[in-house]
């Protein structure tokens, strides 16, 4: 497997707080690699270290064969970066923004004309070329930002929660554009807190408290979850919650429509029988069954359940 990014014991401290507390990464080339995690988990800080905007407190990083931050300037010419917030110029038009970014990337006149025409067509910007960026909708801004970030045909694209405040259809279209880029050989690292987006990634790292809590292909993470998932239906929900609150093995309860989803530690003996016994008085007719894990279950097991153990205030 050819690797675009390698990080070992990567860490960053701000004052007494470790935003990233020592992570190892191997990001394959020509794939979409996802960071999934809550706010404050270290996603943005990690991305900023990978692209050279932050110097690690410790650890090593190699990006596209170049050590960072030592050769960050070389790396920056080979990558595109979309931040959480719209970072282009709101008082310039769509075309003017693209023209300016072409000059920043050092493209010649012929390349500028060709690249802008291509990005206008590819990201459906032709009809809004003369519109000021500050007046665009969320989806339009997103397409413009992606077009600008790819004008120099980067080998690596870093996307920091790029679909915030974007409607579902625009998010879907955006991801189709990402897979088109991967088909051309681009490596993409994207951070998100949307489960449906995380499921689209070829590989995924779940970050929690500045560490990698789980890593792998989404389907493998669901298969190898360190928990047992029990689904309960046909119940009085309030009574069921009261009954389950007294079961020491229950670690998480979530309602999905007309059913409850319960997580218990891996290795729990006869989990379905345990849940039926707990519900016997208030919900004797409850339907209880073991089910496969979803990515949300994986996320809860990797973060909340592991979080029961005391977390160190600082990295060793």
- Residue 310: its pLDDT value, please? 36
pLDDT band at 314 (very low <50, low <70, confident <90, very high): very low
Q: Which two tokens stand for residue 89?
A: 């110029």
Asked if pLDDT for residue 305 goes beyond 80, the answer is no
Phi, psi dihedral angles at 227 (to 5 degrees): -165, 165
**Which of 34-43, 209-218, 259-268, 300-309 is the least confident region?**
300-309
Query: pLDDT by residue (tens digit) across 15-34?
Result: 999 999 999 999 999 999 99
More confident residue, 194 or 9: 9
pLDDT band at 313 (very low <50, low <70, confident <90, very high): very low
* In the chain, domain spans: 3-217, 226-292
pLDDT band at 306 (very low <50, low <70, confident <90, very high): low
Query: pLDDT by residue (tens digit) across 72-91?
Result: 889 989 999 998 777 889 99
- Residue 312: its pLDDT value, please? 41
| Helix, strand, coil fractions of the chain, as percent rounded to 5 | 35, 30, 35
Query: pLDDT by residue (tens digit) across 135-190?
Result: 999 899 999 999 999 999 999 999 998 987 788 888 999 999 999 999 999 999 99
pLDDT band at 193 (very low <50, low <70, confident <90, very high): confident
Assess if CATH 3.30.70.100 describes domain 226-292: yes
Number of H-type helices and E-type strands within the chain? 11, 14
CATH architecture assigned to 3-217: 3-Layer(aba) Sandwich (3.40)
Which H or E element spans position 192? strand 187-192
């Amino acid at each position: 497997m050819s690797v675009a990014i390698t990080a070992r014991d990567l860490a960053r401290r701000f004052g007494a707080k470790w935003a990233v507390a020592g992570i190892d990464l191997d990001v394959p080339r020509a794939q979409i690699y996802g960071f999934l995690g809550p706010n404050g988990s270290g996603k943005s800080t990690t991305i900023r270290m990978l692209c050279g905007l932050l110097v690690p407190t410790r650890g090593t990083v190699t990006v596209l064969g170049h050590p960072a931050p030592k050769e960050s300037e070389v790396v920056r010419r080979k990558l595109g970066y979309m931040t959480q917030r719209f970072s282009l110029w709101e008082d310039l038009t769509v075309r003017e923004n693209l023209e300016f970014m072409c000059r920043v990337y050092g493209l010649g006149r012929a390349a500028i004309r060709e690249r802008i025409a291509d990005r206008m067509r590819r990201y459906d910007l032709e009809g809004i070329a003369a519109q000021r960026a500050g007046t665009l909708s969320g989806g339009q801004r997103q397409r413009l930002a992606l077009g600008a970030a790819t004008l120099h045909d980067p080998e690596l694209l870093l996307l920091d929660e790029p679909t915030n405040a974007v409607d579902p259809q625009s998010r879907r279209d955006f991801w189709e554009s990402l897979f088109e880029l991967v088909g051309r050989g681009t490596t993409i690292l994207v951070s998100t807190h949307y489960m449906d987006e995380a499921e689209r990634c070829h590989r995924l790292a779940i970050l929690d408290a500045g560490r990698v809590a789980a890593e792998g292909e989404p389907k493998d993470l669901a298969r190898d979850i360190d928990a047992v998932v029990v689904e309960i239906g046909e119940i009085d929900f309030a009574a069921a919650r009261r009954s389950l609150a007294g079961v020491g093995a229950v670690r998480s309860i979530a309602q999905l429509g007309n059913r409850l989803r319960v997580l218990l530690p891996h290795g729990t003996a006869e989990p379905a029988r345990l849940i039926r016994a707990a519900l016997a008085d208030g919900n004797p007719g409850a339907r209880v069954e073991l089910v496969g894990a979803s990515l949300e279950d994986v996320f809860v097991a990797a973060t909340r359940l592991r979080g029961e153990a005391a977390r160190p205030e600082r990295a060793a």
